[in-house]
A and B are shown apart, each in its own frame.
Chain A
Amino acid sequence: MTRIELVRRPQHSALFSVLSPFIAVLITALIGGIMFAMLGKSPIGGLYAYFIEPLTEIWSIHELIIKATPLILIAVGLSVCFLSNNWNIGAEGQFIMGAIAGSVMPVLYPGITGPMVLPLMLVMGMAGGAAWATIPAFLKARFGTNEILSSLMLVYVAELFLDWLVRGPWRNPEGFNFPETRSFHADAILPEMLSASGRAHYGFVFAILAALIVWFMLSRTLKGYEIRVLGESPRAGRFAGFSAKRMVFFAFIVSGALAGLAGIIEVSGAIGQLRPAISPGYGFTAIIVAFLGRLNPLGIVAAGLILALSYLGGEAAQISLGVSDKVANVFQGVLLFSVLACDTLIRYRVRFVSPQPAAAPEAVR
């Protein structure tokens, strides 16, 4: 059997650092084509429906931007976490708690209107997400509790909490018993950017701003250096006088706040009220976005648009080809696998070795 052999490169390959996301997208398209063929559809037609058709109409590009907004916001925050070796995988829960905290004003105090309502909602959304993210951060810093599992468990708790709110105390009194809150009043709705051509709202501006700010922090400030050093070698970070514990809080609070902001932006911009389900798994898809963007906020903007395309393509293909919209989730999973596999090319040369009948005696190195 052919074996795969890895030879460590003396330094990271600059070529593959740039190329690897593109190779990954190509591999995913190839696997996607095979999958369509197996489903009895034309591979070209399938890929066209997924990745080109949604770009041919202007309203659809608006939808793309709406879906990319939460993905970019969350993934930018996650890049800080992952770079500093903090595995926050509970962004979905922080998204939900941000949406809940941000909705306090329009749901509980619908009488309060005015231009200050929306900024207050956004701030409360960030606070809600950050507070939820502080729980796994505290448990990790204080007790050494595994943050992967604790942050993930809190996703289920947040989902159930939202479910209880919209079916119980926050249910719309005039809503005929539907499990949803009252619709937000006009001052609590994030305005649309170009309402003549589609629904895209100003949330996208926040996403771009967040990406730029975090990019600047990561690449141009001491804090960014601290994040990288602690992520790559906690020991070296300690010698430099950086505190790993404080970094845990910093990374979780930044990513929690951005996930919370994404949550309230989604509710205020795209949905207009709270419902039992407000996210098709944005918090998890954002993990893929973060890696596809190579944990670089600018790359994440591009990656967020690509993943948003896969959601739209899923809906389009369901209508035009009659394939399940679940195919989009498969695409996303395959994409992350390809990204991770291609990242190996940056650090290693990959050789395929066939077994030799008799190994020659190895020369003295």
Chain B
Amino acid sequence: MSPDVIQAILLTVVTAATPLLIAAMGELVVERSGVLNLGVEGMMIIGAVTGFGAAQITGSPWAGVLAAIVCGALFSLPFAVLTLSLATNQVATGLSLTLLGLGVAGMIGEQFVGLPGVRLEAIAIPGLVDIPLIGRLLFGQDPIFYLSILLAVGVWWFIFRTRAGLTLRAVGDSHGSAHALGINVLRVRYLAVMFGGACAGLAGAHLSLVYIPQWVENMTAGRGWIALALVVFASWLPLRVVIGAYLFGAVTIAQFHAQAQGVAIPSQFLSALPYLATIVVLVLISSNRRMTMRNTPASLGKPFVPDR
């Protein structure tokens, strides 16, 4: 294979991985605060539909990106109010956020079906983009890819290098102790959940403005759930989320190429690969108890009701 072909394949891998990376990075912050939000799929599809819609109406893909981030964060609020202020079951509430998101997005999106989309164009850095093999990969990508890298570095830095990140981890590991130290547990969790919503929204915008610049119903196709699995796979470490996202991107693209090459396996089996890979990865990770337990936020999924 020529360097150009290899680069083209790697480019598609990165494009497939970017929404997973962004959504998983957001959910990682949410779970580090001790909240399990299963609504990623719902927030992501809201981001996809509002991003597409705003770009369509204004003609500017950037308006789409902004709208997706804002709407993703806003859409996480019902989940936050229920699980945090009303101490509801996080699993059930997150599920209902996903169901609601798919419903609302389907309703809003009906008017967008079949419309040509607005593409968020790639930004090429002159000179550097012509480097063989890695030029376009690193310097000729869509803006959301650059954002995703910034996000990954930023989340790592925030969690492990700042005082606020320490507070976040404290809240996630022992909400009782954090409360006793005077930390406003619920405020930290509200902010974390909304950050997760914003990230999921941005991931959705990547789908409808870069990956497939169109609105297709249920276009997230389980990516929100795969992002949730990635956080477990990464055992709550940002760097491993990046690795995991690119691995999944590679699996997705490998099955596309296999289908295009006319491999003698039915296309449905190839399409099932990313989902099966998710299960395999979850099994491998969970069978290694020590590695998972070390980083699992101890308060994950437990409601916190301050005593008064």
Interface residue ranges, A against B (CB under 8 Å): 3-8, 82, 87, 89, 139, 143-146, 148-150, 152-154, 156-157, 160-161, 163-164, 167-168, 284, 287-288, 291, 324, 326-334, 336-337, 340-341, 343-344, 347-348, 350
Q: Does B286 contact A (CB under 8 A)?
A: yes
- Partner of B287 from the list A4, A89, A143, A160 (CB cut-off 8 Å) is A143
Q: Once the chains are docked, how many angstroms separate the CA of A251 from the CA of B37?
A: 24
A348 touches B100 (CB 8 A): no
Q: Once the chains are docked, how many angstroms separate the CA of A297 from the CA of B209?
A: 45
A6 touches B107 (CB 8 A): no
B279 touches A153 (CB 8 A): yes
Q: Once the chains are docked, how many angstroms separate the CA of A330 from the CA of B221?
A: 18
Most central of A3, A139, A152, A324 by chain B CB within 10 Å: A152
A340 touching B93 in the complex, CB below 8 Å, given contacts A284-B99, A326-B106:
yes
Q: Once the chains are docked, how many angstroms separate the CA of A160 from the CA of B273?
A: 10
Q: Does B86 contact A (CB under 8 A)?
A: yes
Residues 158-172 of chain B, each 1 if its beta carbon lies under 8 Å from chain A, else 0: 000000000000000
A168 touching B279 in the complex, CB below 8 Å, given contacts A6-B305, A284-B99, A336-B92:
no
A148 touching B91 in the complex, CB below 8 Å, given contacts A161-B272, A329-B106:
yes
A146 touching B282 in the complex, CB below 8 Å, given contacts A329-B106, A336-B92, A348-B87:
yes
Q: Once the chains are docked, how many angstroms separate the CA of A330 from the CA of B105?
A: 9
Q: Does B116 contact A (CB under 8 A)?
A: no
A-B contact pairs, 10 of them (CB 8 A): A4-B86, A139-B282, A157-B272, A164-B268, A284-B99, A288-B99, A324-B106, A324-B107, A333-B102, A333-B104
A326 touches B87 (CB 8 A): no
Interface residue ranges, B against A (CB under 8 Å): 38, 78, 81-82, 85-89, 91-93, 95-97, 99-104, 106-107, 110, 221-222, 225, 228-229, 232, 266, 268-269, 271-272, 275-276, 278-279, 282-283, 286-287, 289, 305, 308
- Chain A residues lying within 8 Å of B222, measured Cβ to Cβ, are 152-153, 156
Q: Once the chains are docked, how many angstroms separate the CA of A113 from the CA of B287?
A: 48
A343 touches B88 (CB 8 A): yes
Which 7 A-B pairs have CB atoms at the shortest separation, nearest pair first?
A333-B100, A329-B103, A336-B96, A164-B268, A326-B106, A326-B107, A160-B268
A161 touches B268 (CB 8 A): yes
Q: Once the chains are docked, how many angstroms separate the CA of A160 from the CA of B82?
A: 35
A143 touches B286 (CB 8 A): yes
Q: Once the chains are docked, how many angstroms separate the CA of A154 from the CA of B272?
A: 9
Q: Once the chains are docked, how many angstroms separate the CA of A224 from the CA of B102?
A: 35
Q: Once the chains are docked, how many angstroms separate the CA of A280 from the CA of B231?
A: 30
B279 touches A154 (CB 8 A): yes
A337 touches B78 (CB 8 A): yes
Q: Once the chains are docked, how many angstroms separate the CA of A8 from the CA of B274?
A: 44
Q: Once the chains are docked, how many angstroms separate the CA of A3 from the CA of B275?
A: 42
